[in-house]
A and B are shown apart, each in its own frame.
Chain A
Amino acid sequence: MWGLIHKLGSPKWFYQLSARLQPWCWGAAILLLVTGSVWGLFFAPADYQQGNSFRIIYVHVPAAFLAQSVFVTMAVAGLVYMVWKIKVADMAAAAMAPLGAAMTFVALFSGAVWGVPTWGTWWMWDARLTSMLILLFLYIGVIALRGAFGRRDSGARAASVLAMVGVINIPIIKYSVDWWYTLHQPASFTLTARPSMPLEMWLPLLIMVLGFYCFFIALTLMRTRSEILRREAKARWVQALIEEAR
């Protein structure tokens, strides 16, 4: 177990492993996203109450899932970096932060657009909406804090701490719809309970959610690899790699 952690923590080993994993992750992401989009936009039946506006669910729910999952992953990576000084964990955290921020924005935007025909308003200071807005600010804070220090490890430590503290917002987002039920409906998509919608609406949503997660993994692997090259540019194995590519 310890051996595995330290092996995974070695930038060189991670770089080589991720090179093999990456094409599969991109392939799965593209396949799932294309299938889910075509299914969701063309073949899924319109909702009997919301009509076609319900098709926003296929981008809104996966984006909201990623927004939260990326933050939790970032907090765990921050913890791993702080406790075991594993640099790859910090590189991955830096690589995934912009995706998390983007997905939070996408969830807020698609939700606002969906709110107009469904709720008659694009915004209300509902607990779910507000806690997601706070998540967006937390992401911006983590990204800005990392860049605000002259020394890289000071920025990395500050960003890790903010991610670990900010993760308290995630259960608040999750339970906000049950604790303060004002506007946003409770979760309609879970893997633990029976689907609350017909299968021909639920399956494309499942495919989209999986596609978004594969995209997250693929993008994070790719950007972590760049970050490894950038930070380890002086390492002998990186120089040998560059020499080979010349």
Chain B
Amino acid sequence: MTMASLVEWAAMGGHGRFVWSAWGVTAVFMVGLALHARLERRQLLRQLKRQARRQTPSPPRGPSHDPDA
């Protein structure tokens, strides 16, 4: 496929701005919703882990700062 034919395809015979704005808005919403769902899940898991740590402190990892150790 040549550059010229790609440009011609993107112009959509003069209807490019209609086709691309409709497809663009659709893509933005769908990708946005999927990314939001992923972010939502990650933040929630992080928050739940933090809460769990506060309630039952896990044994310290690595070099300990406990004076009795």
Binding site for B on A (CB under 8 A): 33, 37, 41-42, 46, 51-53, 55-56, 58-60, 63, 98-99, 102-103, 105-106, 109-110, 113-114, 116-117, 215, 219, 222-223, 225-226, 229-230, 233, 238-239, 242-243, 245-246
Contacts and interface: CB of A to CB of B under 8 A. Distances in A.
A29 B41 CA distance: 20
A219 B29 CA distance: 12
Contacts of A116: 18
B19 A53 contact: yes
Nearest to B55: A239
A79 B19 CA distance: 39
A106 B29 contact: yes
Contacts of B34: 215, 219
Report, as a range, how many residues of chain B touch the other chain. Answer: 20 to 34
A209 B31 CA distance: 17
A7 to B, nearest CB: 24
Interface string B21-51: 1110110011001100110110011001101
A55 B40 contact: no
B13 interface: yes
A51 B18 CA distance: 12
B37 A226 contact: yes
B15 A53 contact: yes
A110 B52 contact: no
Given A229-B48, A242-B48, A242-B49, A106 B19 contact: no
A78 B58 CA distance: 41
B22 to A, nearest CB: 4
